[in-house]
Each structure stands twice: as structure tokens, then as C-alpha cells.
Structure 1
Amino acid sequence: MTTSDFMTETGPSTTPATSTSEAALVPAVGTAILMMAIIQVGLVVKGYAPVLDGVLIDPDGYMRLARVTQLWQDGNWFDSLVTRIGPPDGLTLHWSRPFDLLLLLGALLAMPLLGFEAGLYWWGVVLGPLLQVVTVIALLWAAAPLLSRGWRCLLAFLIVPQPAIFRAFAVGRPDHHGVQILLFVLLIGLTLRLIFDPTRRRTAIWAGAISAFAVWISVESILPVALSIAALGLAWLFGDPRALRALVNHGAAALAVVVAALLVERGGGAFDSVVSDRLSLAHVAIFAVNLGFWLTMAGVARYAGAGNLVTRGATAALGALAGLALLWMALPGLFANPIHNGDPLYLAKHMIYIEELQPLIRFPESPGGDWVRAVTRPLLWLGLALIAGPWLIYRIWTTPTGGGGAERLAWIYLGLGAALFLPLAARQARWAFYPEVFLLIPYAALAGTFLDRVAARTSQHVIGVLRPLVVVTLCAWFYVPASLLNAVPQVSAAIRGAASCPIRDLVPLLEDPAGLGAAPKTILALIDFGPEILYRTQHSVLSIPNHRYQPGFAAGYRIMTASDFAAAERGLRAAGVDLVLVCPNSAEDWFYDTETDATTFSEALQAGDPPGYLKRVVLPEPLNGQFKLYALREGSI
């Protein structure tokens, strides 16, 4: 795709007028980026992101850096097995390599000044905000078919404080979600351009390529990809035959890129396995069926004519059912939730408590429950829908159908996206950035319409005062109820854990070549400590937070909850554990709570009363008051 393909204004001739000049876009974007930087720095200053102390804000961030460090050390691109998780079998992570490569390239660029380890850490710290800047610019480009430049000035400000979007780009959170949002925004922009002009062949090819790349980054991107295809399919269904050719080009590009991506990711083993939680042959099959479907529709149209709405709809329905049936028979596990197919013990004891997997709408079970949180939480995360949703419906209803109805279909596409992802976000917070992005464009259109109408009826002095007030109100109103009721999200559990259980302060002891660092050891510790131990030391752990089945998680849980200490010893030796680390001020109290009167292994270790086969390792102050570390004595049962 050429630069002109990305920058050409392809919106309808009825694109609204604006009182703001085109030149205002650049300073508006600059001001929005400055606002973003101030908030990010505020997170650091207030301790929400204590990156200056060497602390990341999420365990996955440590695991990301540990994974990239392993790639740098062994150079084994095609093997995602981390042998230090539950040795000797290890764990194959479901993450893909593109984000690893992005982290690795940044670390290598910083290495001449900082060294690899420090370069990787600091690149991981700043990568989220840098991706946020790119995403702000990308969203302004994406919205061009529907919003004038003046209205996109408003959009630049409105995207910055959105909770779910900002969280994905937070400083000190090296995770793939930022890239995921960026690709999602680009796909929206390409889809809107194809809705207005399906003859843009290169745009269709780029849309297909971005779709495949998004699925490579995260397989959950299959939903926004399917929505993009459905929007173009509606254009064809309602009488635009040009959309059919765009869908064929889109499908061919997507299939080619997803096959190439799988080969790059897995090499010779690309087609050996079928899994649903990472790019595999299953996703090649999905894109192949998609291309086959649109080629079939094109063949029917060529030989039987375009038909009318009813015949096109019936043909498409039959073809879609055939495609789904083919996928169902060939890949019966494809439609199952990959997370719920993981370790049931992990799901019950850990995953259900992960913040981003909690429902945004959940009412207390009793009248005396936390109704403040029940009301303010969805208002904070999804309050945008209360204003932008009705306005979007209004735009769909009132937009003229002239010119083939492309503008109305564009608004319908955004409405379908919001309608699909709002219920998903209500069920799990991790989906919330999707409806936020879909609703931001009508949100900016509403703000622009209001300001333009006021500007037409009042003086420049009044509008000069009113415009910033409106922008600030639209940016911040959904934070007000939570702030007044003291229900704004607090410091994450990972940050609280880093303060009360600073794993980084144990590193000199664990890595001492004259002591515990003389040889790699296996450490049994709370699952949330696993990634940081892997990142900071040479040692192994039994498990990490991950939905895939880990025998070490079940083994560690059985050991720590055992009231039979002889059984706990057998478990320790069977798992090859050398050290047991507990932090009484962490989540261990409730995580290993068995709700029985018998003293558990975990409780005995936290109380400093270990069985005889464990020897307490003396820790210097203040670590001695924060941790208790035990070494398994030599010998057998």
C-alpha cells in the first residue's frame, strides 16, 4: 500500500464541516500526546508503576522479558518451551514471536549504552507508551472516512483517558495488548475505506494482511477480523457487487499471510499441531474456508447473476453453514474456549481471581454488599456507551442512504462492533478496549456536532472557552462517580506484592555463586512470584500464571495445602524441589486456605515451624521479616 492509500480522505461528500482548520490537527495531536505523557509519568510518581525501582506492573511482563532473554541466549526461535517452568518437562507458552522480536530489537538497540539486560528492561518499560502514541495517530487516520480533521482533533484527546485502552499501554507493562489494539485500529481504518470504495485492491490486500497478522499476535483477534469481513459482506449483500472482489482479495491476502506467519513462527513443525489458543493449522483452516466461501459466492454471481437480496442472502446462508460444518467436522475443538479447556484446578484457584478476567457488571449477592463498586465499575469502564451508543443509533437512523448507503453502513459497522463487544466486556474486563475503540468515533462525532452547532450560534470568545470545557468533561466524566465514592481502581495486586514481598531484593542471595547461586535450583513459591523469579535468577519454578496445563501447579498446590507433612515431603521430592519460599504478607493466606482446622504445610512454613526435613535459610534484614526461605535436606523418605 502506498502512502496515498493511507492518507487519502475517502469519506462521503457529506463529511461534516468544521470550524477548526486542518493545521490544527498536528498541535492537537501533540497536546494529546503531552496529556498522555503526563498521565504516564503520574503513574510512576504515585507508585502505580514503580518502574524506577525495577518493578513491572504485571507478572506477565516479567515472563515476557524472561522469554526474550531465553531467545537471546539460546537463539531457538521455533521452540517456545520454557524448561525452567515445572522441570524437566517445562511449559510451552501460547504467546507468539512478533512481540518477542519487538522487545528483542529494542534491547539490542539499547545494548551499546545499557547492556542487554538493562536495555531489555527499560525498553519494556517505555514500549507501551510509545505504542500508545502510534495508536493515537493510527486512530486519527482510521476515522478519516467519517470524521473531518476538526472532529479528529477532538478524537485525539478522547482516546487518551479511556480506561481499558490506557491500561493496555501503561508504562512498565511489556505485553502484546498494545500491538493488538494498534492492529485493531488499523483494521477499522482499512474496513471503513473499503466500505466507501471497495475497488481499492491494495486496501483490500492490506486489510487481509493486517487481519492475519492480528490473529498471529493474538488469536482472540479473530472476532474483530470476522466483524470486518461481515461488514464488507453486508455491502455485497445489500447490492454492491464490487465488495465481492474486495472480499476475495482480502481473503487471499489473509490466507497467504497466515500461512507465512505460521511458517515463520514454527518452521518445519508449522503444521504438526492444531491448537486454538495460538496460531496453528486451525487458523489456516479458518482463513481457507473464508476464502473458499467468497470464491464460491463470486462464482455463483458470475454464472447465475447477482440476484436480489433474498437470493444473495439464501446463497450466503447456505455457504456459511457449509463452511461452519466443514470446520466443525475437521476441527471439533476449534469452537471451544481455550482458556476453559486448561487446567481446571488453576481455573478454580487462580484464574477466576485475575482482575482482567472479572466481569465488569456484577451485582452483590446480598443487600449489604458492595453496591458502590457494582455501579461505579461498569460506569468507569463502559460509561462511554451511555452517551456514544444512543448517538451512534441516531447516526445510523438519520444518515442518508445516497451513494449506495456507504456512510450508513460505516456507522452500522461501528454499531455492530459495539453491540458484539459490550456484552463480552460486561462478562470479562479484558474485552473492554474493543467497544471503547468502536465507540470513540461516534463519541467524537457527537462532541464535534455539538461544538459546531454552538459555534454557529455564538461568538468566537464563547466557543473558545466552551470547547476545552466540553473536551475535559467528555474525557473525565466517567471517573467522577468512582472518585467521589473512593472506588477508583487501586494499585494492582502485583505492585502490592512487590512492596510486601520484594523478590528483587532476594536476588543477591539467590544468585550468590558461593551459596544458593552455585547451581540452578527448583523453587516452590506462590504462582505469582514465578515469572519474576525466572526473570531475575537462573532458578526454576513449578508454575506461573498461565491457563495451559502445568503439572507443577497441581503438585505445588497439593504440597502447600497438605496437612500430612510426610505426604508434603514426598511431593517435594517427587517434584524435584530444592527451595520453598513463602511470604506471609502475600496472598498465600487465602490462596492455600483449605477451610479446615488442621494445620497445613503452608501455615506451618509461614509460622516459622517447618518439619524436620526442611532447614530454614537465614535471611538478612529486612528480608527476614518479609520472607521465609527453606531448603530441603538431603536424603530420601
Structure 2
Amino acid sequence: MTSPKLLESFRTDDERAGAGWLLRMILLFTFLGVAAQIGSHLSTYKDYVGPDPDDVMRLVEVRDWLGGQSWFDLHQYRMGPPGGMLMHWSRFVDAPIGGLILLFGLFMSPEMAEAAAAFVWPLVLILPLMAGVGLGSYRLGGKPAVVIGLVLGSMFLFTMMRFRPGGLDHHNVQLAVVALLAAFLLDPLARAWSFAVAGGLAAFALAIGAETTPLVAVAATGVAIIWAVRGQDHRRAAIAFGLAFAGFAAVFFFATTPKALWSRVTCDTLSIGFLSLAVIGGGGLAAAAAFTSQRGPLWRWGSLAVLAALAGVAALLVAPECLGNPLSSLDPMVQNLWLGGISEAQPIGKQFEVSPDAIGSIYGVGLIALGVALFRILRGEQVLAYSLLAGMIAISWIVSAIQVRGMIFTNLLSALPLSVIVADLRAHYLAHRNEPKAAIAFILAALASVPSAWAFSGAAVTIAVNKVAGVPPEEKEDEDKPACIRKDSLAEVSKLPPGRILTAFNAGPAILRFTPHAVLTGNYHRNAKGLLDGLKMATSDPAIAAALMEEDKVGYVLLCMDDPQVEALKEKFPNGFWARLARGEIPEFLEPVDAAGDPRMKIFRVIR
């Protein structure tokens, strides 16, 4: 029987021997990924900023910072009621984008510098994403799993708009961080430096955005449980992770949070609430590992129980509001008319209603990956690694069942266990070429590991069923951008004296980008009053709308006739302000302005 020390020595030598090969594979697939993203971008080019309003809003935030707004001041003064709103995004994403703009600005015009930065930044993030997938696959399944994992990562990447040029939103950063986090946690030798890096990445994920908080919590809990099981073998790893997690969380907090907000609890940023839990949890784990690793299982599990109790009490005392859904505090009207219409915020039940053909691509791959991980655990194969990975995939899947946006993390992490099972089935097929079952198993496993294969199958089944049932195919929507987010359409609007505009939520960031005006609304939950007032104005009697516009100092009304939100509110509230305005019923407190350079737009000045 091979001794553990001999096995560890073999793994170390094997890793060193394969490091150069692994790096070459990662660089090769990174190059292919960059080329594919550039090709997709150029073939569908419409703008140097991505199509997501968040991409535009990120550019606006970076412009404000480069224009002199303080690093610690995240207010968006041109969005919301008078005084603006406090954004919840991180300067850690603004900084590299702004740095690239300044760099390119040394030899380009301001607009060209922005375009160059928007082109380069998402492509740069492909390297850490592929590095995480490649290293994680290698640590789970060795060389045979690496190429499969990188192929699956490439397929995931190709379907993700976030990594195409123009993708300035922070989700691409989060995906790269999560891939690296998983890879470093899967170190089979539990080296302290790997877990220190993982702790720093976990803290950085919290600093970037709250979407990864459940995943980070499960990862940290997994490290603690593995230490409790393994004891002395994972002592240095647990200490390194705990200290790095607590220390970097504190560094990131003080590096981005103004002193005036140190005591304010927010549930969508790295505030004092999450910092307290990170310091207690990370520091407590490091202390427990340092002093009880050799004292036996009861001491280790007991110390974890005490630590969990302390963290629970801290959560209840410091941030009880963060134990639930942070969006539940929104006014019911905002939840029903705004949040309920955001596709990426829909639960699994809604997906079955509106997009049954997409269910497999959203939820199928994660379930298969979870099944593979559990199967490996039951067989006693790399139990700790697969247990940690199963926990991270499971929590991401649960989050995606609540809000579909979580599926990006589920599908990304699923590439790791699926790379091993596909590699194993490939090896079995190569050894049994004459057995049809081996070929079928390999092909089915490979296809089932690709979300886009599920999407294609779901679409094909839906088309076939509709054809049999006599349901006509849906008409393709016009691919042209809605008028209110086009630069040319807003050109004349930008020449009007600056004022606050009431308009469709999706148009808010574009108006901030292309004009000097302010907007009342945008798709950001921090702007709770602006969202509620905007919906009330759009759906209420004109007299009520006029009073609210006076309160919020609204100077213009921009009606976007081709915006989905406008269409929905017109249909649902036929006697509301927007519906009447669309019919040409102009109230006495408005006057038309001949500045809408597009027939799909109508703009009015508020008369006071």
C-alpha cells in the first residue's frame, strides 16, 4: 500500500512536471477565447459599450470618478430625486477600467480611449477565468481532465456576453474570481499559500458585489469543516485561509468605505455587517486551527460550534436585516411592476412559465454536476475536494432557483467535476472502441455538460411541439436599439438646458452617458424612492403625476414609445399618465419640445 508521504511526493513532482504544459494549455485556450469574443463582437457591432444598461452605468460611474469625484464617494448625483443616490458598486472594478482609459488617453481622443478600454478590459479577464478552470480541472482529474475542462470553459465563455468587448459590468470579474477561488481550494496538498490566496479571493469577491456572498459563505464553511475532519493535516491551510479572509476583508473595507459609512450596515456591499462576520469567522477559524488541531475531533468540532454561535450572534446583533432577501424591503408596487419584470431576477417557477425551453440550459448542467460530485463522494474518491465543490455548486443552484442570474456561477463551477467524468468516459471509450455503449456514454456526457446543447435541444423540442400543435412561430423582434438609448436619437435632447428627466428605467444610464441631464429612474434598487415615484407618475392620474414631479424637481418627460416597460404600463394602466400621453392627451402642465430626433420618442417640458 502506498504511504501518504510517498503519494504526496508523487503529486508534488507531477504538478511541477505538468506546470509548463498546463500553462501552455491555459494560454492556448485563452487565445482561442479572446479570438472568438472579438469575432462575435465585430460581427454584431453596434456600440463600443455592451448592450446591458449596467455596462453603460459602469462607464458613467468611471467617468464621474475620472472627472474628479472622490474615490470614496459612490453617489450618482444625476440619478434619482434631488441629491442623487448612493451606488453599491465597487471602485475595484472602476479602477482598472479608468486606468486603461487614462493610458489610452495619452495618445487617443477621449471617446477612442473609452472605446479601447471597453474593448480590452473584458478580454483581459478571460485569462484568470481560464486559469481557474484549467487549474481546477487539473487538480481534480489530472492532465486528461484539463483539455475537457478548458473546452467546457470555452463553451461557457462563448455563450457569455460578459466577456465580449464592451462588457464593463462586474459580473465578468466575479466569474473570474469564483473560478480561481474554486481552483485554489482544490489543492490536494492543502498548501498554506493556496488557501491564503483562496481567502484573499473570497474577501475580494465580497468586495466586488453581494451576489457571491452565499457562495463565499459555503466555501469558508467548507474549509472549516475540512479542517475539523482532517485536523493537523489541514492546520496550516485553515490558518492561512482564515487570516487571509479576515485580513483582506478589512483591507478592502477600509480601502473603499468612507469613514462616515463605517458603522452603516448595507446588505449589498462589503459593509460593517459582512466585515464583522468575515473577521469573526476568519479570525476565529485561524485561532481554532492554531490551538486545537492536535486536541482531537471533539475539540475541533466544539470550537467550530462556538465559532458558529459567535458568528450567529454577531449577525443578529450587527446585521439582522441581511439574513433575508435585501430586495424584500422594496415597496410592493416596485416589486410587482419593476422587479417582477426583470428577467434575470425571476425564480424557477416563472422560468417554467415564460421559457420552458431554457430550463435545461439554466438548471440541468448544475444538477448533473452535483450528481457527479455526490457519486464520487460515495465512492470515496477525493471526498473532501468533491464535498467542497458540491457545496459551492449546490448553493449556486439554489440561488439560481430563486433568481435566475445565479446560473452563471452554477454552470461555471459545473465544468470542474464534469471535466473529470467526461475525461473518464473518453478514456473508457478509447479502451473499448468496439463497444457502442462506451461511445454513447461518452457522447451523451459531453453534450449534457454543455449548457448551449441543452438550450438548442429545448428550442428544437419547443419548435416541434408548437408545429404539431399548430402554434405559429413568434415574430422576431426588431434588433434595432430602442430610441431612448441611441446616441443619435438623444443628440437633440442633449442640447436642451439640463434638467431631471422622467423616462423608462432602461433609458436612464444612456441618458446619463449621452446628455448632461439627470434622470429620476434606473434599474437600481438603491434608488428606491426614484423607482417608486417614477412608477406612480407613469401609472397615476396626470394630476398626481404633476404633484410628484414638482416634489422631485422633474423638468422633462421623455416617452419612449418602443420601450417594453412603457408598453407594459400602458396596457396595464390604460388611464395612467403614460398611456394618456401616448394617445396624445397632453396635460396643461406639459408642453411638447421639438427635440426628439426619432419618431419613437416624445419629449415634453414641465411648465412651472
For normalisation by structure 1, the TM-score amounts to: 0.82
For each residue in 1:517-550, what CA deviation from the matched residue of structure 2 results, as whole angstroms up to 9, or x when unmatched?
xx42111111111111011111101121111243
2:122 corresponds to which residue? 128
Correspondence list, 1:345-384, <5 A: 345-362=333-350, 373-374=355-356, 376-384=357-365
Q: What CA distance in whole angstroms lies between the structure 2 residues aligned with 1:543 and 1:387?
A: 41
1:52 Cα offset (Å):
3.2
Asked whether the equivalents of residues 73 and 258 of structure 2 are also in contact (C-alpha less than 8 Å), the reply is no
Q: What CA distance in whole angstroms lies between the structure 2 residues aligned with 1:235 and 1:24?
A: 27
Q: What CA distance in whole angstroms lies between the structure 2 residues aligned with 1:289 and 1:34?
A: 43
Correspondence list, 1:419-458, <5 A: 419-458=394-433
1:491 Cα offset (Å):
12
Three-state SS of the structure 1 residue aligned to 2:326 is coil
Three-state SS of the structure 1 residue aligned to 2:320 is coil
Is 2:238 the partner of 1:240? Answer: no
1:329 Cα offset (Å):
2.2
1:176 corresponds to which residue? 170
Q: What CA distance in whole angstroms lies between the structure 2 residues aligned with 1:185 and 1:154?
A: 16
Asked whether the equivalents of residues 71 and 77 of structure 1 are also in contact (C-alpha less than 8 Å), the reply is yes
For each residue in 1:257-298, what CA deviation from the matched residue of structure 2 results, as whole angstroms up to 9, or x when unmatched?
222212211243352422121111112211221134325534
2:320 corresponds to which residue? 332
Query: For the structure 1 residues 434 and 54, does the alpha-carbon distance in structure 2 shift closer, same or farther, using more than 3 Å as the test?
Result: closer
Matched letter for residue 394 of structure 1: F
Query: For the structure 1 residues 450 and 114, does the alpha-carbon distance in structure 2 shift closer, same or farther, using more than 3 Å as the test?
Result: same
Q: What CA distance in whole angstroms lies between the structure 1 residues aligned with 2:161 and 2:601?
A: 30
Is 2:490 the partner of 1:507? Answer: yes
Q: What CA distance in whole angstroms lies between the structure 2 residues aligned with 1:207 and 1:612?
A: 62
Is 2:549 the partner of 1:572? Answer: yes
2:109 corresponds to which residue? 115
Three-state SS of the structure 2 residue aligned to 1:85 is coil
2:588 corresponds to which residue? 612
Asked whether the equivalents of residues 292 and 299 of structure 2 are also in contact (C-alpha less than 8 Å), the reply is no
Worse-superposed segment, 169-178 or 519-528: 169-178
Correspondence list, 1:69-468, <5 A: 69-162=63-156, 166-193=160-187, 196-198=188-190, 200-269=191-260, 271-295=262-286, 297-298=288-289, 301=292, 306-308=295-297, 310=298, 312-362=300-350, 373-374=355-356, 376-385=357-366, 387-400=368-381, 407-458=382-433
Worse-superposed segment, 140-149 or 384-393: 384-393
Asked whether the equivalents of residues 429 and 442 of structure 2 are also in contact (C-alpha less than 8 Å), the reply is no
Q: What CA distance in whole angstroms lies between the structure 1 residues aligned with 2:159 and 2:389?
A: 17
Q: What CA distance in whole angstroms lies between the structure 2 residues aligned with 1:158 and 1:25?
A: 17
For each residue in 1:194-240, what CA deviation from the matched residue of structure 2 results, as whole angstroms up to 9, or x when unmatched?
xx333x33333222222211111113333222222222222222233
Three-state SS of the structure 1 residue aligned to 2:279 is helix
Three-state SS of the structure 2 residue aligned to 1:144 is helix
For each residue in 1:299-352, what CA deviation from the matched residue of structure 2 results, as whole angstroms up to 9, or x when unmatched?
7627xx5223x5543442243123312331233223232222344432221122
Residue correspondences, number? 587
Matched letter for residue 108 of structure 1: L
Correspondence list, 1:458-537, <5 A: 458=433, 474-475=449-450, 476-485=452-461, 498-512=481-495, 516=496, 519-537=497-515
Q: What CA distance in whole angstroms lies between the structure 2 residues aligned with 1:11 and 1:508?
A: 67
Q: What CA distance in whole angstroms lies between the structure 2 residues aligned with 1:350 and 1:296?
A: 46
1:6 corresponds to which residue? none
Q: What CA distance in whole angstroms lies between the structure 2 residues aligned with 1:83 and 1:558?
A: 22
Query: For the structure 1 residues 140 and 596, does the alpha-carbon distance in structure 2 shift closer, same or farther, using more than 3 Å as the test?
Result: closer
Identity of aligned residues (%): 21
Q: What CA distance in whole angstroms lies between the structure 2 residues aligned with 1:155 and 1:330?
A: 41
Asked whether the equivalents of residues 511 and 537 of structure 1 are also in contact (C-alpha less than 8 Å), the reply is yes
Correspondence list, 1:587-606, <5 A: 587-593=564-570, 595=572, 599-606=575-582
Asked whether the equivalents of residues 15 and 147 of structure 1 are also in contact (C-alpha less than 8 Å), the reply is no
Q: What CA distance in whole angstroms lies between the structure 2 residues aligned with 1:120 and 1:189?
A: 33
Worse-superposed segment, 312-321 or 466-475: 466-475
Three-state SS of the structure 2 residue aligned to 1:411 is helix
Asked whether the equivalents of residues 24 and 150 of structure 1 are also in contact (C-alpha less than 8 Å), the reply is no
Asked whether the equivalents of residues 539 and 573 of structure 2 are also in contact (C-alpha less than 8 Å), the reply is no
Query: For the structure 1 residues 361 and 336, does the alpha-carbon distance in structure 2 shift closer, same or farther, using more than 3 Å as the test?
Result: closer
Q: What CA distance in whole angstroms lies between the structure 2 residues aligned with 1:119 and 1:11?
A: 50
Q: What CA distance in whole angstroms lies between the structure 1 residues aligned with 2:9 and 2:60?
A: 45
Is 2:602 the partner of 1:628? Answer: yes
Q: What CA distance in whole angstroms lies between the structure 2 residues aligned with 1:339 and 1:438?
A: 26
Three-state SS of the structure 2 residue aligned to 1:340 is helix
Worse-superposed segment, 529-538 or 318-327: 318-327
Matched letter for residue 537 of structure 2: I
Query: For the structure 1 residues 285 and 611, does the alpha-carbon distance in structure 2 shift closer, same or farther, using more than 3 Å as the test?
Result: same
Query: For the structure 1 residues 383 and 22, does the alpha-carbon distance in structure 2 shift closer, same or farther, using more than 3 Å as the test?
Result: farther
For each residue in 1:414-443, what CA deviation from the matched residue of structure 2 results, as whole angstroms up to 9, or x when unmatched?
122222222221221111122223321121
Q: What CA distance in whole angstroms lies between the structure 1 residues aligned with 2:486 and 2:346?
A: 27
Q: What CA distance in whole angstroms lies between the structure 2 residues aligned with 1:492 and 1:532?
A: 24
2:52 corresponds to which residue? 58
Three-state SS of the structure 1 residue aligned to 2:333 is helix
Matched letter for residue 515 of structure 2: T
Matched letter for residue 254 of structure 2: L
Matched letter for residue 366 of structure 2: A
Asked whether the equivalents of residues 29 and 154 of structure 2 are also in contact (C-alpha less than 8 Å), the reply is no
Structure 2 unpaired stretches of 5+: 1-6, 465-473
Matched letter for residue 306 of structure 1: R
2:470 corresponds to which residue? none
Three-state SS of the structure 2 residue aligned to 1:250 is helix
For each residue in 1:345-377, what CA deviation from the matched residue of structure 2 results, as whole angstroms up to 9, or x when unmatched?
32221122112111245476xxxx66xx32x22
Query: For the structure 1 residues 76 and 540, does the alpha-carbon distance in structure 2 shift closer, same or farther, using more than 3 Å as the test?
Result: same
Matched letter for residue 506 of structure 1: S
Q: What CA distance in whole angstroms lies between the structure 1 residues aligned with 2:235 and 2:210?
A: 25
1:496 Cα offset (Å):
5.4
Structure 1 unpaired stretches of 5+: 1-8, 401-406
Asked whether the equivalents of residues 502 and 519 of structure 2 are also in contact (C-alpha less than 8 Å), the reply is yes
Q: What CA distance in whole angstroms lies between the structure 2 residues aligned with 1:350 and 1:618?
A: 30
